[in-house]
Structure 1
């Protein structure tokens, strides 16, 4: 039976035509035996702004995405998907999403760093702007990975998600700047490079930038999808699921019914 993976982007994917097609092409290339369904957030979710223009406002960022991500995960579960990929390096609501379901919820960022740990003692993250850099620094510190990360770097001039979406047709200048930053990271002891944002990672992967000066470039999109495949197989064949005693406590049906009732009253 073909495994079905729900890949959830946090951009308005229907309007990111180049990024959308690049992702679909990449799924077909790295996971031809899987059914990978790409989903974004609805048009208008960000009010005409790019994600990174909102992510520094914690209430707004999480409120906007909570209204979408929880329902998308419920839909994936109802439709029988085997795993759910949270395709954002900011990892919004990752803990809460894992607490909702027994199917694997895979973080693109987490999958990429786990793979990097398997090929390098020290690795670097290279991202597109300081907003993403801050989020990734906080998230990596929360995982106690400071000892494995040689640094987190920004490709300059900085760019938003919408700006990155425009470079797929001619990425040469951006890839040159990315490579320059990666070489600086390598000079500061990085033995693997992670393009640490979905659009950046897709531009890099689409152009087959797999190694720089003998240092591997980890593909976070492939890592997330194939990690989801592994987790789905472990769930199917061994029953593996999140620990429910502490960090990922799952709500009981009574609590879910109570929440539904409260929501109906508020609505």
Structure 2
């Protein structure tokens, strides 16, 4: 005899007669010297248990979750495939110029250019063309001037019509360091004091001591702001 287990109170009460009848039959069975044996029915996740002299192994179907099939790719529309094929043909003409020049001329990102090139077997002779490197070098003095001017990175990008990634890459490769607005204001204040100390006839070394700054900082400010500060004062031996 089997009984259905439910958490609903009405169902539990409805099965009371069945449970009572089952209890009476168990008492009658035990009164005739019957023995009730317990048989393990469950199985652990990592430790299979015996049942009727057989070993029940954990089910791999219920234990392991279905893994995502990474080999399945989303199908692109015919128009998207045609566009990529057209771009791939154009990329072939940039074998010597490089992917950067190709991405710039075709108005796509370098990531997409590399992706399409890999899909269609297009090879580039170099990752960055000579023309692209020359463009980067041309940006160096402009970025340096804007740093001295005190512009923010966003303002520099807007002025030079380049992205933040390009700005940081060129600056990092050429030793240019960006400064905060407070640092720029401090530099301007130091420049005025340097000119005043120069006008009273002090040397550069004496100027650095008076301002309590590193001589290298003094030389940087002199160079960046084109300060006419002779190494020795006029008339010095």
Give the alignment's TM-score, normalised by structure 1.
0.21
Between structures 1 and 2, the one with greater helix share: 2
Larger gyration radius, structure 1 or structure 2: 2
Greater relative CO, 1 or 2 (CA 8 Å, sep 6+)? 1
